[in-house]
């Protein structure tokens, strides 16, 4: 699985990267039927400029289609959990 994560105005990267790695591992177990080179996961973090709210967007590209999910929350880790739960 090819993974790319971008950050825009998000500070605490170490705990967030650990959560993303753990949830990506769980997702990888579900996608074993696809060739690893054909699966791409793109994530993007953003902080709302006027509110204390974070958004995490996920795009999962598979040979059979593309899935998109978005998570919003008061902190970064909540938005990650919500986005992976929706995916």
The 10s digit of each residue's pLDDT in 57-76 is 999 999 999 999 999 999 88
Q: What is the pLDDT of residue 12?
A: 66
Of 25 and 15, the one with more pLDDT = 25
**Residue 79: closest CA among 27, 31, 43:** 43
What's the pTM value of the predicted model, to 2 decimals? Answer: 0.85
Of 12 and 19, the one with more pLDDT = 19
Given a cut of 80, whether residue 13 has pLDDT beyond it is: no
**DSSP characters for 17-49?**
HHHHHHHHHHHHHHTTTS-GGG-EEEEEEEE-S
Distance in angstroms (rounded) separating the CA atoms of residues 66 and 50: 31
């Amino acid at each position: 699985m090819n993974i790319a994560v971008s950050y825009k105005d998000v500070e605490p990267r170490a705990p967030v990267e650990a959560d993303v790695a753990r949830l990506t591992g769980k997702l990888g177990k579900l996608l074993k039927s696809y060739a690893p080179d054909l699966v791409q996961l793109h994530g993007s973090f953003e902080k709302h400029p006027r509110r204390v709210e974070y958004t995490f967007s996920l795009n999962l590209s598979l040979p059979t289609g593309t899935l998109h999910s978005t998570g919003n929350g008061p902190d970064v880790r909540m938005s990650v959990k919500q986005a992976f739960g929706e995916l």
